[in-house]
Amino acid sequence: MSRRTLLVLAIALAAIVVAAAIGLEMLQPRPLPQRETTPAATAPNPATQVLLKGEYLARAGDCVACHTLPNGRPFAGGRAMPTPFGNLYVPNITPDDETGIGQWTADEFYRMMHTGVGRDGTLLYPAMPFASYTKVTREDCDAIYAYLMSVQPVKQRNRPHELRFPYNKRDLLIGWRALYFKEGEYAPDPKQSAQWNRGAYLVQGLGHCSMCHTAVNALGGSSESQAFEGGMIPNQNWYAPSLTSNREAGLGEWSIKDIMDLLQVGVSSRATVYGPMAEVVYNSLQYMTDEDTEAMAVYLKALPQRDSEPPPTSQARLVSPEVMETGRTVYATQCAMCHGGEGKGQPPHFPPLAGNQSITMTSPVNSIRMVLNGGYPPGTKKNPRPYGMPPFAHVLNDAQAAAVVTYIRVAWDNSGTPVTAAQVTPLRSLLPE
Amino acid sequence: MRNRRLIVAIALSMGWATHAGGQSSTVPGFSTLDSMEARVQGCVTCHGRNGEGANSGYFPRIAGKPAGYLYNQLAAFRDGTRQYPPMNYLVAYLPDAYLREMANYYAKLRPPFEARDAAPADVAMLERGKVIATAGDPRVGIPPCIACHGSRLTGMEPGIPGLVGLRAPYISAQLTRWRVGSRHAAEPDCMKRIVSRLSEADVAAVSAWLARQDPPADPSPESSNLVRMPLACGSQQ
pLDDT above 50 (res A210): yes
- Is there a contact between B101 and A70 if contact means CB atoms under 8 Å apart? no
CA separation (Å) from B88 to A218, B4, B79, B81?
A: 30, 32, 8, 9
Nearest neighbour of A376 by CB, restricted to B44, B81, B91: B91
The pLDDT of A407-433, averaged and rounded, is 92
Both B128 and B33 in a single domain? Answer: no
Both A296 and A393 in a single domain?
no
B81 contact residues in A (CB cutoff 8 A): 71
Same domain, B128 and B230: yes
Q: Does B142 fall in a domain?
A: yes
Chain B CB within 8 Å of residue A250 CB:
no
Per the CB < 8 A criterion, the answer to whether A362 and A310 are in contact is: no
Same domain, B154 and B198: yes
Confidence of residue A23 (pLDDT cuts 50, 70, 90): low
pLDDT in tens, A88-146: 999 999 999 999 999 999 999 999 999 999 999 999 998 899 999 999 999 999 999 99
Using the 3D structure, point to which of A180, A202, A220 is the last residue of a domain.
A180
Q: What is the pLDDT of residue A53?
A: 96
Statement: the pTM of the whole predicted model exceeds 0.90: no
pLDDT digits (tens, 9 = 90+) for B147-206: 999 999 999 999 999 999 999 999 999 999 999 999 999 999 999 999 999 999 999 999
Structural domain count of chain B: 2
Residues 6+ apart with CB under 8 A from B34: none
Task: Give the distance from residue A61's alpha carbon to the nearest chain B alpha carbon, in angstroms.
Answer: 18
A87, containing H or E segment = strand A86-89
CA–CA distance, A358 with A365 (Å, rounded to integer): 10
Q: Is the pLDDT of residue A348 over 50?
A: yes
Query: Which has the higher per-residue pLDDT, A33 or A416?
Result: A416
Q: Would residue B113 count as lying in a domain?
A: no
Q: Is residue A212's pLDDT more than 90?
A: no
CA dist list (Å): B9 to A181, A250, A396, B28: 60, 42, 16, 16
Does residue A394 form part of some domain? yes
Question: Same domain for B6 and B71?
Answer: yes
Query: Is residue A28's pLDDT more than 70?
Result: no
- In a shared domain, residues B77 and B136: no
| CATH classification of the domain holding B146 | 1.10.760.10
Whether the predicted pLDDT of A174 surpasses 50 = yes
Q: Across the interface, do B39 and A386 touch by the CB < 8 Å criterion?
A: yes
Tell me: pLDDT of B23 over 80. no
Contact B74, B91 (CB under 8 A): yes
Contact B33 A346 (CB under 8 A): yes
Q: Does A68 touch chain B (CB under 8 A)?
A: no
Pick A71's closest partner by Cβ from B79, B90, B95.
B79
Closest residue in A to B94 (Cα) is A379
A12 belongs to a structural domain:
no
Inter-chain residue contact A373 with B42, CB threshold 8 Å: no
Domain match, B77 and B135 both: no
What value does the mean pLDDT take over residues A341-367? Answer: 93
Is residue B114 situated within a structural domain? no
Q: State residue A7's pLDDT score.
A: 60
Question: Is B116 contained in some domain?
Answer: no
Q: Is the minimum CB–CB distance between A278 and chain B shorter than 8 Å?
A: yes
B2 to chain A, any CB pair closer than 8 A? The answer is no
Examine the domain organization and report whether B142 and B187 are in the same domain.
yes
| Co-location of B170 and B103 in the same domain | no
Note the pLDDT tens digit of each residue in A236-251: 788 888 887 766 767 7
The answer to whether residues A53 and A118 belong to one domain is yes
Specify whether B99 is located in the same domain as B155.
Answer: no
For residues A205 and A136, the answer to whether their CB atoms sit within 8 Å is yes
- Dihedral sign for Cα B95, B98, B102, B103, please: positive
ipTM above 0.90, yes or no: no
Q: What average pLDDT does this structure show over A170-191? A: 90
Residues B129 and B190 in one domain: yes
Number of domains within chain A: 3
Which of helix, strand or coil describes residue A89? Answer: strand
CB B49 within 8 A of CB B39: no
In terms of Cα–Cα distance, which of B153, B175, B127 is closest to B219? B153
Contact assessment for residue B94 and residue A379, using Cβ atoms and an 8 Å cutoff: yes
pLDDT at residue B15, as a whole number:
38
> Chain B interface, mutation test: which of A344, A370, A380, A395, most B Cβ atoms within 10 Å?
A395
Please answer yes or no on whether B86 and A386 come within 8 Å at the CB atom.
no
The per-residue DSSP string of A125-186 comes to PTTS-HHHHTTS-HHHHHHHHHHHHHSPP---PPPPPEEPTTTT-TTHHHHHHHHH------
Nearest CA to A206 out of A147, A262, A120 is that of A147
Task: Report the b/e string of A146-161 with b at 16+ CB within 10 A.
Answer: bbbbebebbebeebeb
Task: Let me know: does B101 contact B93? Beta carbons within 8 Å.
Answer: no
Residues whose CB falls within 8 Å of the CB of residue A130, separated by 6 or more in sequence, listed in order: A112, A113, A114, A115, A116, A124, A181
Locate all alpha helices (DSSP H) within A206-356, ordered by sequence: 210-213, 256-260, 275-283, 290-302, 321-330, 336-339
Torsional class of A89: left (φ above 0), alpha (ψ -120 to 50), beta (otherwise): beta
Question: Is the domain of A423 the same as that of A379?
Answer: yes
A379–B29: do the CB atoms touch at under 8 Å? no
Same domain, A386 and A281: no
Number of A–B residue contacts, CB under 8 Å: 104
Q: With both helix axes pointing from N to C terminus, report the angle between B168-180 and B200-211 in degrees, rounded to the nearest 10.
A: 150
pLDDT at A223 > cutoff 70: no
Q: What residues have CB less than 8 Å from A165, skipping those under 6 apart?
A: none
Can you give the pLDDT at residue B11?
A: 42
pLDDT in tens, A30-47: 666 665 555 555 677 888
Query: pLDDT tier at A279 (50, 70, 90 boundaries)?
Result: very high
Residue finishing a domain among B59, B84, B108: B108
Quick: pLDDT tens for B39-60: 999 999 999 999 998 867 789 9
Q: Residue B118 falls within a domain, yes or no?
A: no
In a domain, A30, yes or no: no
Q: Which phi and psi angles does A39 have, rounded to 5°?
A: -55, -35
pLDDT (average), residues B93-122? 93
* Domain ranges, residue B170: 123-236
User: CA B151 → CA A238, B155, B168, distances in Å?
Assistant: 48, 9, 19
Interface contact B90, partner A, CB < 8 A: yes
Q: How large is the average pLDDT for residues B105-133?
A: 93
Which candidate from A281, A384, A400 shows the least CB-CB separation from B98? A384
At A202 the three-state DSSP class reads helix
Axis crossing angle, helix B200-211 with helix B123-134, rounded to the nearest 10: 90
The residue among A180, A215, A243 that closes a domain is A180
> In which element (H, E) is residue A83 found?
strand A80-83
Residues B36 and B129 in one domain: no
Task: State the Cα–Cα distance between residues A373 and A395, nearest whole angstrom.
Answer: 11
Under 8 Å between Cβ of A258 and A40: no
Q: Does residue A185 fall inside a structural domain?
A: no
What type of residue sits at position A38? T
- Beta-carbon separation of A379 and B11 below 8 A: no
- For residue A239, give the CATH number of its domain: 1.10.760
Range 37-56 of B in CB contact (< 8 A) with A? 38-46, 56
Contact A353, A404 (CB under 8 A): no
A421: CATH: 1.10.760.10
* Contact with chain B for residue A413, Cβ under 8 A: no
Q: Which of A393, A389, A378, A376 is nearest to A430 (CA)?
A: A393
Q: Rounded CA gap, B109 and B67, in Å? A: 11
Is B70 inside a domain boundary?
yes
Q: What is the percent of chain A with per-residue pLDDT over 70, rounded to a whole number?
A: 86
Looking at residue A318, its pLDDT comes to: 87
Task: Report chain A's C-alpha Rg in angstroms.
Answer: 29
Q: A50 with A155, same domain?
A: yes
- Same domain for B101 and B205? no
Question: Which structural domain, as residue segments, surrounds residue A295?
Answer: 194-302
The pLDDT of residue B57? 72
pLDDT averaged over chain B?
A: 88
Closest CA to B48 of B60, B65, B34, B35: B60
pLDDT in tens, B122-164: 999 999 999 999 999 999 999 999 999 999 999 999 999 999 9
Residue A390 and residue B45: Cβ atoms within 8 Å?
A: yes
